[in-house]
A and B are shown apart, each in its own frame.
Chain A
Amino acid sequence: MGLVDAQDLYKRFGSLTAVDGISFKVERGEVVGFLGPNGAGKSTAMRIISGFLEPTSGQAWIDGHNSHTDAIAARRKLGYLPEGAPAYADMSVGAYLNFVAAMHGMSKRQAHDRLAELVEQVHLIDVWNQRIDSLSKGFKRRVGIAQALVHDPDVLILDEPTDGLDPNQKFEMRTLIRSIAPQKAIVISTHILEEVEAVCSRAIIIARGRMLADATPAELLAGAPQAGSIAVTVAVADPEPALQIIAREPGVARVVVADRINGVARLVIHTSTSRPSASGLVGALGRANIPADEVYLQRPTLDDVFRQITAGVREH
């Protein structure tokens, strides 16, 4: 049994099935990314695992404690950042974090020591005495993260931890998540795909409440249709001759015009088992007086994978 264990979770709101049979496990040291379009059921699934919502059927465990029937024990092990990083707007950062620490049963002394450490880690010292409703989005998100980390839980469930942060803050947040990851089991939800590559050891793709994939980012990328394809750009009005030349090269399975922008055509070569060499391609085109501007290996992005996997599964 993993630190997080979700088994056959279903959640129906009236006729809508928000979560449709989700099962997965997260071990210590893993960072699992929940990926999905808006309204895919990511937040609902996280709410169920955190124990905030009851599933229509199925069970979720946090470190062996059922998040519904053994809720208090489960919650002790859990740090949870709900969607939108809510916090009591009328409190100061310090008062709020002390409140959360006390609710976790920490003594004043323990809370003081732990918060001193955390404030360094999450960079909250400058806003310690400020009211939460006066904070920028970035600081609010950090307060939310600090709140989830107060009791140093084994399990972290973070719903869109970098939403609304600027690029520097996103980088910091990801660094923080990576730094604490080895000791914990972490589930983060996001619709930013670069985030998955940046911090996650595993990605679960969800759409319309269903799990469509559960694999490492590398495995997902390897399965992409673009994996291993080569792009050649040529500045010619008619790309047809270039297509014919390339099609004759060894290792070329298929070649198509991907796009034409400002008189530059991008040709995408789908390779067979072997791969044509860049110099061979440039040489062959050169002999026909077709100058090749660029030749590069196309790296599939998770965006491509995501679009492919979720294609046909429309948002609610």
Chain B
Amino acid sequence: MGATLLVFRREFAAYFATPVAAVFLVVFLALSAGLTFLMSGFFERGTADLTGFFFWHPWLFLVLMPAIAMRLWAEERRSGTIELLMTLPVQLWQIVVGKWLAAWAFAGLALLLTTPLWITVNVLGSPDNGVIISSYIGSWLMAGAFLALSAAISGLTKSQVLAFIAATAVSFIFVMAGFDLVISTVRSWAPNFIIDAVRSMSFLGHFQHITDGVLELPSIIFFVSLIVFSLWLNIRVIEVKKAA
């Protein structure tokens, strides 16, 4: 069996070795349902769709994905198991990808557990299920990008708390990239193409494109390339720390 799969299985099982996984899933479900029904006015809107549900995902993920990914490397450093892992005869990329896949699968499970909501809207009315499917896929891809970023940051420290805070801060910048808050700090000194580049990094913008309707190719490419880049960054972080 490939090392990537072995690492994936170990990491995925590790989520369930403590009550943390259960707590996390409950918190995610409670928050996403609570926000959908209370804040988005699910019933008052009178339309059977999940717009009000997906609307909150970037904000939920901003905190919850760093929480899933924070232990991936920081815990290995704290406990010293990183020395074991890094002296096993496998390639570093296999470990990095295996770990990220485990976190991504866990996020996928959390999303999967929200499908009763999907069933509900189908019972209540006739939503555009194509939009919902593409929104789910988009949401999972966005989760993957958050996780890959957070995993790379987790590789920098042996403190899970520090990893969480730093990953949330970086994720916040990505979420807000299209907003004036971020743009205005760039506008004063940067040429237009950089401002455009920064704006195009916005998670919120890309995710909205996806939830608005069809799975938009540029937005999918954006999330996928960010995942690939972050995984590469993760490998570099571990390699650089090794030589430090």
Interface residues of A (CB under 8 A from B): 13, 47, 50-54, 72-73, 75-76, 78, 80, 82-84, 86-91, 99-100, 102-105, 131, 147
Contact = CB atoms under 8 A, between A and B. Distances in A.
Counting contact residues on chain B (CB < 8 A from A), the size range is 20 to 34
A83 B80 CA distance: 8
Contact of A86 (B3, B17, B81): B81
B6 A147 contact: no
Given A52-B242, A83-B80, A91 B87 contact: no
Q: Of residues B17, B80, B89, B243, which shows the largest number of chain A Cβ atoms within 10 Å of its Cβ?
A: B89
A89 B13 CA distance: 12
Interface string B75-109: 00001110110111111000000000000000000
A86 B80 contact: yes
Contacts of B6: 99, 102-103
B210 to A, nearest CB: 35
A123 to B, nearest CB: 21
Nearest to A89: B79
Contacts of A52: 83, 86-87, 242
Contacts of A147: 84
Nearest to A46: B83
A54 B83 contact: no
A88 B10 contact: yes
Contacts of A80: 83-84, 87
Given A90-B18, A103-B6, A75 B88 contact: yes
Interface of B: 1, 3, 6, 10, 13-14, 17-18, 79-81, 83-84, 86-91, 242-244
Given A88-B14, A90-B14, A90-B17, A103 B88 contact: yes
Contact of A82 (B3, B10, B80, B242): B80
B232 to A, nearest CB: 19
A86 B79 contact: yes
Nearest to B3: A103
14 contacts: A47-B83, A51-B87, A54-B242, A75-B88, A80-B87, A82-B80, A82-B84, A86-B83, A88-B10, A88-B14, A88-B81, A90-B17, A91-B14, A103-B3
Contact of B10 (A73, A87, A99): A99
A150 B242 CA distance: 25
A50 B89 CA distance: 11
